[in-house]
Amino acid sequence: MTVYTAVPETASELLVTLAHHRDRPRLREQAIEAWLPLARHLAQRYSGRGEPTDDLIQTATVGLIKAVDKFDPSYGVDFAGYAIPTIIGEIKRHFRDRTWSVRVPRRLQELRLAITEANSTLTHSLGRSPTVADVAIHLGVSEEDVLEGLEGARAYNATSLSTPIGADGTTSLGDTLGGEDDQFELAETRVALGPALATLSEREQRIVALRFYGNLTQSQIADRIGISQMHVSRLLTRSLAKLRSELHESSLQ
């Protein structure tokens, strides 16, 4: 990062002496302030991706503070070489945690990023779009893991229910969603009704069918069967009582 060659030599010296100096809090603050341009520069590289620049700078600063606190000069690595991946990692975690429309496990978020990078690499090396098997071999995971990662990637962006659809634009996506269907509440009753009807005698079944499926009156049923209207009423009342009893027992099972 040649852009940072202008960082004062004293800033690097601060990091070398920071670990054991008795005035560590003051030196730590000076070191963070001296390297803030690095954090701001890295944050700017990720601007324009849907997150406020101020939030990215704040996130990058957190990464810088972590780098300052964990840096060990005895490892033989200069601070910039250690801080840059630390800060970038913090920014990427910010995007993973904040920009998904639907919350998915961190494992799938990271797998999505790995799949995206693998697709780019393999497309260049293979000269074609990679298959699921190609990506799985490249990442050292199973094809099922790749498919799961691709499915989880759909949660990165969500479509508003108010999005217009159709040529005239008068219908929104939300209009296509189904509403509550009261008939669903009767589905189980209909399923249980068949066995319950089977418990009735043939004449009782016919009377019930003529009354509720044929929409005939009791007098019309009486004329068709050849019995009195009063007898039809008694048979119908008895049949309905049997059906209620059978349906009740069925609901308890």
Model's pTM, two decimal places? 0.39
Q: pLDDT category, 103, cuts 50, 70, 90?
A: low
pLDDT per residue as tens digits for the range 32-62: 888 899 899 989 888 877 678 888 899 999 9
Whether 214 shows a pLDDT value over 80: the answer reads yes
Would you state the pLDDT for residue 3?
40
Identical topology for domains 106-157 and 185-252: yes
| CATH number at 2-98 | 1.20.120.1810
Would you list the DSSP string of the chain? -GGGTTS-HHHHHHHHHHTT-TTHHHHHHHHHHHTHHHHHHHHHHTTTSSS-HHHHHHHHHHHHHHHHHH--GGGS--HHHHHHHHHHHHHHHHHHHHS-SS---HHHHHHHHHHHHHHHHHHHHHSSPPPHHHHHHHHTS-HHHHHHHHHHHTTSS---TT-EESSSS-EEGGGGS----GGGGGHHHHHHHHHHHTTS-HHHHHHHHHHHTS---HHHHHHHHTS-HHHHHHHHHHHHHHHHHHHHHHHH-
- Convert the pLDDT of each residue in 9-24 to its tens digit: 455 565 655 555 555 6
Q: Does the pLDDT value for residue 85 go beyond 60?
A: yes
- How high is the pLDDT of residue 58? 92
Determine the pLDDT at residue 221.
Answer: 92
In terms of pLDDT, which residue wins out, 145 or 184? 145
**Residue boundaries of the structural domains of the chain:** 2-98, 106-157, 185-252
Task: State in words which class domain 185-252 has.
Answer: mainly alpha
CATH number listed for the domain at residues 106-157? 1.10.10.10
